[in-house]
Chains A and B, each alone.
Chain A
């Protein structure tokens, strides 16, 4: 990792129109934006954390039932989706880098690639949801389960599955909206080495959503070992 220090233009003596009135300097504004974003991500950690807590408790209580659900989880699709999201994180990181280097063409390219990966993730997720619907695995909507002894407790797992992946997918949709905004702004030449905070912040958000999935994948798809 290169520790290049890019000075913000000539001592920021140049009047920066993007400096909001209540900040003294661009550095202060950037510090505040970054800290604000990380604080927001902490709230997200605890938001998902509530569901992870519920998952941990019920997994300890009903390990057999939870393990038995693995046969209904499509590991190939889940694994593919994990890889797709990791790719999108790479392109997002590259997009931020391109913005920092004032490389507009690369920035737009990588942003659009990120959106393509993100959309691919949602499409695959859609196929999975459809399969669960067809197999009557949606709690509350004609839930049926084999082996029957686990029919009750498996519902808890599937409820958590839909709550967690659904909330994750919702965050993906929001992320795609934010990326669209970034592409438009990048097209309008808003971002440069002097001003790239929005790209970086939305990048942080996107990586965070990736991290959530990194935990969801083993916890939901790989509970029971497979034959």
Chain B
């Protein structure tokens, strides 16, 4: 059929204008894709959370510790399958710019509760055996070039002093939503040091991680745990792991909202750019459309030509944008890995890119198509010459 050929040839009649519009569309898709990917990264911990895990912390604030003695009591609550505990260590490796998350945890129970942290069996055994041992995510180990057996020193901020650790294992994520930039070591090692230097802070933990036998009973288990410590000197707040993480994310809700608004603005701006291109194009070719109508082509044919051209431009820009998005995401993963440990382009983002391209193309062509279809042939022919 002649229409696809006309769409192709028309689209590249004004090469510079078309290439600039495609480039603008590509940049918009790139911006949209990157912003979407940032949002994905922002919520990656939520996506990675498990419905069968609860978190218990101080009801006052996460920064207030809980007694280790709660461990045994929580373990006896009906519906609880496993209990682990840990504390945010907040150590610095060489310099503050080398930030990564580091936790002191009860290693055996913690790894049982987090099967998504995959540690080779030999390395796991070495880690469990060595009280100074630690495991690091693969991305973190790669970032600093750590090898098994290396001694790594962290400078404590909450627990002052230099703390030496031996790398005993490197974990990988069971899937790509798992954060591979974390650092876990023995809570006992931390507690021994604390007992010597700050006895008042000994035998206290930051949080308990609780595995439940049946996720449907999570709310009931949480209520029972909190009721157990009500009116004690350290009351607890127990919530699902998802709610716990969402609590952190909600602190930055304004940033997330700004990212969403900017994503929308990017689409509106590119819509204006493409609509302008299509309006100019249609105005220039109104005489040709009149000729086609004279020859018997109907409004629907003209609509296909204009809509097809708009979609060809936006989809070309979309493909360009997607092609650039992947290397850009790889670049950001390298450069901003400490801020966004899980940073990858979701398949949904690619579908949304195409959706945006189709939406922008169709919307940009609506008014020019309407004008071209409605113009009287005699008026259109007068524009020639």
- Pair from one complex: no
